Each structure stands twice: as C-alpha cells, then as structure tokens.
C-alpha cells in the first residue's frame, strides 16, 4: 500500500556558465539562449516534494514522488528544457530501457521549450531506445516541447483537452567579429532546416507547409494539433488499459503475494 507522509525541499543544482558555447534556443529570448543561468529553469523552485511511503511485507520504503513515478515508467518534462533537464530525462529513458526494453515509457510534457541541443538530445534518445515512448501534453507543449510531443510512438501521442501547442523557428544571438556572426547565422539556418525536416517526418506534412508554419509563432488547440499531425488523439480520461497496468504493477511490487522479479519482467 502507498501513503503520502512527509514533505522535503529539493534544491536546484547550479552550474557555471560556458560563455563561448553557442546556445540556440526555441521558446526563449536570445539573452536566455546565450546565458544558461538566465533561463527560467535555473531559477525554478519545486518547493516541497512529497515523499511516498510504500508498505510491504519487508517493511517500509520512502521515495520522493518523482522516483516513485519513475518506478511506474512515468517520466516528466516540466518547464524550460536545459542541459540539466536533458541529462536527467536521457538517464531515465536509458535506465527504463535497460529494465525492460519492450515495455512502454510514458512521457508527460508541460514545457515552454528551451535549448535546441538539449531538446535534440532527448529526441534522439527517444528514437534510439527500443521501448516505445508514449507522449502526453499537459498544460502546454511549446517550441522544442512540441517537437518532443510529436516524437512519440505512432498512435501513442496524446493531449488532454485544454493545453496549448506552439511551433516556431529557432531563435538565437551572437556577438563578436562580423565573420564570427556570419558563421553563427549560417549555423542557425542549418538548425532551422533540420528542425523543419523532423517536424515534416512526424507530422507527414510537406516540408513547404512546415517552413511556412514555422516562420512565426503558431499556436494550436489540441484538436488543431491533431489535425496538423503533432498528436494522434485528444483524451479526457486515462485509457482503462493503462489504469489496469498501473494496478497490476502496484500489486506486483508491493510485496506480500506479489509475483517475483522475474515474473514481473516477463510482462509485455
């Protein structure tokens, strides 16, 4: 059985700025793209994190809520997508593939976007691992967040009824000599071309339509995102099959008469 018993604060990690590293961003102004510490994700506070107490025949074990969700193969992307975000999400995806390469991973997205390099690290990992990744938009999926939403397994990309989805071209900035600025300008055009091709691949839209829509901020409702090809379904309630899986997994891991570790891994 499970209970929420105590709360503990989570302190964000801090990293030094790499001033010479180009940071093309989607969904953030040029200043935030060039200076990681200016990004909202570095100032965000989760505040109090619930601790979940799991009771079994072997005693009690405490998890923070995100670790408990990870145990159920649920991963979340919340807020700005930074290198820190990518590092954590990529590690979770690789770990879950190692645990069971055939069982789906459920990725919940509520993101304003962020650094393109960080987002593409997550995107490439989603495509790389063997287990299918289902995506679900809650709140919003803007910019790089919308690309990750579209990157889920075919037929498994969903949104709740009220989020907003937004696509646009990358933004960035550079300082220095004219020749250096020209180099960075060429690079961001290549980045835009690459992102357009990824959107075209997952939405099945013509590249010309993608280029036109990405020229400026394009906001969509879930139904419009479905029509565009970013998602496959708009849902109001969790599918009963997922509820059944969660109940079965909880029973198998809570101890008592639950199955063995080998029996749990054999499930599809």
| pLDDT score recorded for residue 50 | 86
**192 lies in some domain:** yes
Is 106 in the active site?
A: no
Q: Which is catalytic among the residues 80, 143, 146, 171?
A: 143
Check which CATH number belongs to the domain holding 82 and give it.
3.90.226.10
pLDDT class for 44, splitting at 50, 70, 90? very low
Residue 263 in any domain: the answer is no
What average pLDDT does the chain have?
81
Active site residue 168: yes
Residue 202's closest CA among 168, 154, 169?
Answer: 154
Over residues 179-218, the pLDDT tens digits come to: 999 999 999 999 999 999 999 999 999 999 999 999 999 9
Amino acid 46: pLDDT: 58
Q: Using one digit for the tens of pLDDT, what is the confidence trace for 107-116?
A: 999 999 999 9
Of 168, 171, 179, 250, catalytic: 168
Segments forming the whole domain that contains residue 52? 2-255
DSSP 258: P
35 secondary structure, DSSP code:
-
SS3 223: helix
| Total domain count, the chain | 1
Spatial separation of the C-alpha atoms in residues 173 and 24, rounded to whole Å: 8
39 pLDDT above the threshold of 80: no
250 within a domain of the structure (yes/no) = yes
Closest CA relative to residue 165, chosen from 134, 191, 139, 189: 139
């Amino acid at each position: 059985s499970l209970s929420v018993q105590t709360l503990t604060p989570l302190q964000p990690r801090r990293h030094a700025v790499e001033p010479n590293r180009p940071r093309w961003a989607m969904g953030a102004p040029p200043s935030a793209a060039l200076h990681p510490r200016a990004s909202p994700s570095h100032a965000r506070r989760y505040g109090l994190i619930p601790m979940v107490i799991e009771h079994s025949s072997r005693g009690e074990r405490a998890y923070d809520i995100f670790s408990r969700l990870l145990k159920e193969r649920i991963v979340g992307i919340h807020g700005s997508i930074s290198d820190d975000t990518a590092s954590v999400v990529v590690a979770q995806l690789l770990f879950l593939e190692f645990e069971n390469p055939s069982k789906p991973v459920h990725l919940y997205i509520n993101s304003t976007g962020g650094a393109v390099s960080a987002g593409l690290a997550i995107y490439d990992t989603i495509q790389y691992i063997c287990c299918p990744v289902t995506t679900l938009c809650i709140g919003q999926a803007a910019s790089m967040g919308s690309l990750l939403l579209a990157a889920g397994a075919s037929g498994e990309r969903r949104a709740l009824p009220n989020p907003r989805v937004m696509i646009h071209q990358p933004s960035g900035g550079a300082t220095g000599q004219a020749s250096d600025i020209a180099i960075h300008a060429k690079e961001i055009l290549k980045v835009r071309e690459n992102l357009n091709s990824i959107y075209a691949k997952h939405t099945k839209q013509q590249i010309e339509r993608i280029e036109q829509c990405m020229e400026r901020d394009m906001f969509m409702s879930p139904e419009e995102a479905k029509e565009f090809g970013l998602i496959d379904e708009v849902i109001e309630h969790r599918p009963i099959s997922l509820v059944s899986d969660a109940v079965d997994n909880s029973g198998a891991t809570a101890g008592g008469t639950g199955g063995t570790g080998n029996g749990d891994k054999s499930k599809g």
